[in-house]
Structure 1
């Protein structure tokens, strides 16, 4: 959970981080972690007092906007996460 929130893992997890961010499918894993974090946020927005269509629209807007942001900046997020763990980003 700490890793999904952006915290640094202990040094013994360094190789796992390298695998997570450089192996095939790394973009999908970043996106899945993001969706896991955003699910409760969207649920909170959907629970606000408003008409049903407005609650759904706001929750979807939050989900779509944040997901597109993560997809657009995935390379930068990966580079930052690798450097955070003392690893060299791939060329």
Structure 2
């Protein structure tokens, strides 16, 4: 698939993944991202892109090997579960942040 109109580019997409608001010119891209088919998958993949470096940093902390593996896995599993459970609320909040109306269903 080609680039969509209003595609924010790599740097702004990184900020979007961290929760920052995009400029109004990217509103159509945000609408597509949060309402088209596959929005949950994109939400989880974006979350993984943020969490994997954090988990890698946790794995570098000193401690026994089981702790250096267990703590990052627990952080990743817990955060992915929280995002999966709260995905509808996260989507509504992000749509409102961009002055878009959340879907009724």
TM-score over 0.5 for the pair: yes
* Gap runs ≥5 in structure 1: none
User: Alpha-carbon deviation of 1:49?
Assistant: 0.4
State the match for 1:36 in structure 2: 49
Q: In structure 2, which of residues 51, 63, 69 is the aligned counterpart of residue 50 of structure 1?
A: 63
Alignment of 1:4-19 (within 5 A): 4-19=17-32
State the match for 2:88 in structure 1: 75
State the match for 1:27 in structure 2: 40
Distance 2:94 2:62 in 1: 37
State the match for 1:60 in structure 2: 73
User: Alpha-carbon deviation of 1:50?
Assistant: 0.6
Distance 2:58 2:18 in 1: 20
TM-score (norm 1): 0.99
Q: How many residues align?
A: 91
* Gap runs ≥5 in structure 2: 1-13
Greater RCO, CA 8 A, separation 6+: 1
User: What is the RMSD computed on CA atoms of the aligned residues?
Assistant: 0.4
Distance 1:24 1:44 in 2: 33
SS in 2 for 1:3: helix
